[in-house]
Amino acid sequence: MTMSDPTPKSFDLRSLVESRRDETIDLLREHINPKLAKVFSMIGFDRVYPRGEGAYLWDREDRKYLDCLSGYGMFNIGRNHPVLKQAVRDYLDMDDAWKIQMAPMTLPGLLAEKLLSKVPHLQKVQFTNTGTECVEVALKFARCETGRERVLYCERAFHGLTYGSLSLNGCPSFREGFLSFLPGAVSVPFGDLVALEKALDLAPTAALFLEPIQGKGVYVASKEYLLGAQELCRRHGTRLVVDEVQSGMGRTGKLFAFQHVEGLEPDMVLVAKSLSGGLVPVGAVLVRDETYEAVFSTLDRCVVHSSTFAQGGLAMACGLATFHVLETEGMIDNAADKGHKLIEALRGLVPQFEMLKEIRGEGMMIGIEFGEPKSFTLKTGWSLLHKADVGLFPQAIIMPLLHDHRVLAQVAGHHVDIIKLLPTLTWTDEDVRWFLDAFTQVLERCHRFPGPLWTTAKGLVKMAASSRH
């Protein structure tokens, strides 16, 4: 519209998106991330899903898919939950001021009250916009409260990809190329109390950052390790920071994974992803009063940490609606039930399939690890593939899962033979069967060498080699 045009055209989002759907992968390639577009095309993950609901996606031919990764764990309550959609509509219809900055707001207070009612040993909430920002807050707060610089994190840890959180990343491939990191960030082996005690004895330490279940590879911390780590941290004046960005909001069958362990009371709890039901960026750091007082120590410092969009009205409204859904629809119990069924059934497959090594997890956070087979022919295929490119084997599993069974899954990290399931908490027994039937068929095929999976894998090796050249 020009200033002289008296009839403004309305903005028609649906038509705009529909008219450009064919170009989806081209838009990604041209304007955002050509390498990612190439990977999607190589493995056949370049299909477009115009619709999502609950645990399912629909492609352009209206075929239904079972989603096993729920946007990396952001849709715990399922996509487009009607309660959440209604909350968004209501919020917009309220003409709320959204965010004023220089005035108190009702919605953030209500969501903070709700979060703290679930973690009663903590007393204040610092809202953020993402998971990585939660980690940045926890780093600042722990250093400020203790006056110490050093922080510990675990091998294989993933806490996000900004500089502070990347400094706590236990996976070299994420760190490569980004030069120096936060001084004083030191890694310790996950699950090793002796090593942790040594590290804490070595120098005063502000905090230990822990995922109760590590997302990269799905390694579950034992109760003994978590309680031991808490005891050691208390003895050394070190803050225990539990990162529940992925494991929280009901995923493991409790609201937070640390709540499986009686007596565990972390000094800080980090929540993001599914806190808003996945619709709006959000994060929250739950802390003790002492931590709050140390950071916001004077009236001058009342906004010493903040972020323009944090406590945004829509994010807060979605958070409250998400809690309502979790509390009224039995989703957390359902996650425990379906997760247990999945884990038990998958463990039952281990003796039947020699390349299936171990099943780990809790609730709807499950790792499926493959390992080198014993029989000669399979061993040959396995070594050839791993020599050509470590980390391609699980790709060759997730590809037929998608192409032949319409099951969308992901690999659990770089250079590992692990697949991760992070489904919505809404799965039914039928969904569990859908996944298990599909997975069993893919396993059967990959235990035939030569066979279709190995042909797929060979194709992948070739494509990976040619793209490197």
The contact set with ligand PLP (CB under 6 A) reads 72, 130-132, 135, 158-160, 211, 215, 243, 245-246, 272
Q: Which is nearer to ligand PLP, 305 or 445 (CB)?
A: 305
Q: Which is nearer to ligand PLP, 24 or 129 (CB)?
A: 129
Rounded least distance, CB 106 to ligand PLP, Å? 25
Query: Residue 227: which of 188, 196, 198, 271 has the closest Cα?
Result: 196
> Strand pairing partners for 187?
153
Helix residue ranges per DSSP H, 205-350: 223-236, 289-295, 313-328, 331-349
Q: Which is nearer to ligand PLP, 160 or 363 (CB)?
A: 160
Q: Which is nearer to ligand PLP, 72 or 292 (CB)?
A: 72
Residue number, nearest CB to ligand PLP? 131
Identity of the amino acid at 76: N
Rounded least distance, CB 132 to ligand PLP, Å? 3
Buried b (16+ CB within 10 A) or exposed e, 17-45: eeeeeeebbeebbeeeeeeebbbbebbeb
Helix (H, G, I), strand (E, B), or coil: what is residue 206? strand
Helix (H) or strand (E) holding 185: strand 185-188
Q: Residue 356, CB half-sphere, CA atoms under 13 Å: how many? A: 22
Altogether, the residues listed in the chain come to a count of 469
Q: Which is nearer to ligand PLP, 129 or 456 (CB)?
A: 129
Q: Which is nearer to ligand PLP, 78 or 217 (CB)?
A: 217
Cα–Cα distance for residue pair 268/122, rounded to 1 Å:
8
Report the C-alpha dihedral over residues 340, 344, 347, 351, rounded to 10 degrees.
Answer: 180
DSSP secondary structure string for all residues of 133-148: HHHHHHHHHHHHHH--
Rounded least distance, CB 165 to ligand PLP, Å? 6
Rounded least distance, CB 211 to ligand PLP, Å? 5
Helix (H, G, I), strand (E, B), or coil: what is residue 310? coil
Rounded least distance, CB 210 to ligand PLP, Å? 10
Cα–Cα distance for residue pair 446/458, rounded to 1 Å:
13
Rounded least distance, CB 278 to ligand PLP, Å? 11
Q: Which is nearer to ligand PLP, 160 or 250 (CB)?
A: 160
Rounded least distance, CB 246 to ligand PLP, Å? 4
Q: Which is nearer to ligand PLP, 57 or 272 (CB)?
A: 272
Rounded least distance, CB 316 to ligand PLP, Å? 17
Helix (H) or strand (E) holding 153: strand 150-154
Rounded least distance, CB 213 to ligand PLP, Å? 9
Rounded least distance, CB 247 to ligand PLP, Å? 7
Q: Which is nearer to ligand PLP, 246 or 311 (CB)?
A: 246
Asked whether the bond before 450 is cis by omega within 30 degrees of 0, the reply is yes
Query: Residue 53: which of 27, 86, 80, 89 has the closest Cα?
Result: 80
Helices and strands of the chain, counted as H and E runs: 18, 17
Q: Which is nearer to ligand PLP, 71 or 452 (CB)?
A: 71
Cα–Cα distance for residue pair 453/392, rounded to 1 Å:
11
For residue 148, how many other CB atoms are within 10 A of its CB?
Answer: 19
Rounded least distance, CB 133 to ligand PLP, Å? 7
Handedness of CA 89, 92, 95, 98 (dihedral sign): positive
DSSP secondary structure string for all residues of 388-453: H-TT-HHHHHHHHHHHHH-EE-EE-STT--EEEE---TT--HHHHHHHHHHHHHHHHHHTSSSSHH
Rounded least distance, CB 297 to ligand PLP, Å? 27
Contact assessment for residue 393 and residue 385, using Cβ atoms and an 8 Å cutoff: yes
Q: Which is nearer to ligand PLP, 164 or 373 (CB)?
A: 164
Query: Residue 419: which of 427, 434, 409 has the closest Cα?
Result: 409
Identity of the amino acid at 455: T
Q: Which is nearer to ligand PLP, 269 or 446 (CB)?
A: 269
Cα–Cα distance for residue pair 192/221, rounded to 1 Å:
10
